[in-house]
A and B are shown apart, each in its own frame.
Chain A
């Protein structure tokens, strides 16, 4: 009886020991799973992260090759926001994805050739100015209050599409053309234009949100 008890205790101790040595596994074994941003694991005929990134990235590189913007004397000021970037396509798209990507890329690449103005933060700047005018806050430690800077060039453009759907089957094709332009202040002259286009077909319909 005593021997059996010792045996059972020993086996239990062994099992506990073995259990304590189990490997810590933090690898994902089910959804959600991280994927590369340009990858498209789900089918769809619309603008995906891959096309958005490719279009905005190509435009940033195109602008950096425009001497009127990059080599112009006097360090021009550029506004790159979504205000005049229209979505005329059949797909619901967050236009800010394009303009934010472009603005961040160009801000990082500007290197003193031009200034990027944050007109999308006008509310923030104006609110602080009013607080300062009211005496609620002091001026900044290193930056004096001044008038907001005017722009020399501003981004415009549009997303347009042609979509075909086969009724009842879910099959569809979509063509997209995305244009980007820089408009000169006062004259309205286009100092730079470029476009990105692609077409996709799929046998299944998905909903973009």
Chain B
């Protein structure tokens, strides 16, 4: 082994080690303002829990159906949301439901606590929530499989 070979390997190793280092410090978050977040509707957060495959693999169906969702104003002038959730299956379903309320500019001003809802087979159950903030004008009900 000559002197050249003695140096080449450690230097290459050093370069590899340096190249493998990540730059220290925070990185810029990914922003995607083009995405339209749905408002005044009901959304399902984890389709894996609420969807099931009927027959062929691409024939995915939702285990739940939202038969009705209406926005009203309570007697005290606060926005109120009422939805009807129907269990489309022949077994019990356990869901977590939460409502988020938004001002006219899209900023979130209030969110209800997550509530557990248990639906018997084919049962339809009403869920309602009202905001605590007078500035709320839009809502989004979020449904997920119970934790």
B18 at the interface (CB under 8 A from A): yes
- Contact assessment for A14 and B7 in the assembled complex, using a CB-CB cutoff below 8 Å: no
- Contact assessment for B6 and A7 in the assembled complex, using a CB-CB cutoff below 8 Å: yes
Contacting chain A: which of B37-45, B53-61, B63-71, B73-81? B73-81
B132 at the interface (CB under 8 A from A): yes
B2 cross-chain contacts in A, Cβ below 8 A: 3
- Contact assessment for B10 and A11 in the assembled complex, using a CB-CB cutoff below 8 Å: yes
- Contact assessment for B130 and A57 in the assembled complex, using a CB-CB cutoff below 8 Å: no
- Contact assessment for B80 and A65 in the assembled complex, using a CB-CB cutoff below 8 Å: yes
The distance from the CB of B34 to the nearest CB of chain A, in whole angstroms, is 28
- Contact assessment for B113 and A58 in the assembled complex, using a CB-CB cutoff below 8 Å: yes
- Contact assessment for A111 and B134 in the assembled complex, using a CB-CB cutoff below 8 Å: yes
The distance from the CB of A60 to the nearest CB of chain B, in whole angstroms, is 6
A71 at the interface (CB under 8 A from B): yes
Complex Cα distance A3/B3, Å? Answer: 6
Interface centre among B13, B112, B113 (most CB of A within 10 A): B113
- Contact assessment for A21 and B13 in the assembled complex, using a CB-CB cutoff below 8 Å: no
Q: Which of B3, B74, B115, B129 contacts A6 (CB 8 A)?
A: B3
Q: Which of A14, A53, A61 contacts B130 (CB 8 A)?
A: A61
- Contact assessment for B115 and A105 in the assembled complex, using a CB-CB cutoff below 8 Å: no
Q: Told that A18-B14, A64-B78 touch, could you supply 15 new A-B pairs with CB distance under 8 A?
A: A3-B1, A3-B6, A10-B7, A21-B18, A23-B22, A38-B147, A50-B114, A53-B114, A57-B113, A61-B131, A61-B132, A64-B76, A65-B78, A67-B75, A198-B116
Question: Which A residues form the contact surface with B (CB < 8 A)?
Answer: 3, 6-7, 10-11, 13-14, 17-18, 21, 23-24, 38-40, 50, 53-54, 56-58, 60-61, 64-67, 70-71, 105, 108-109, 111, 198
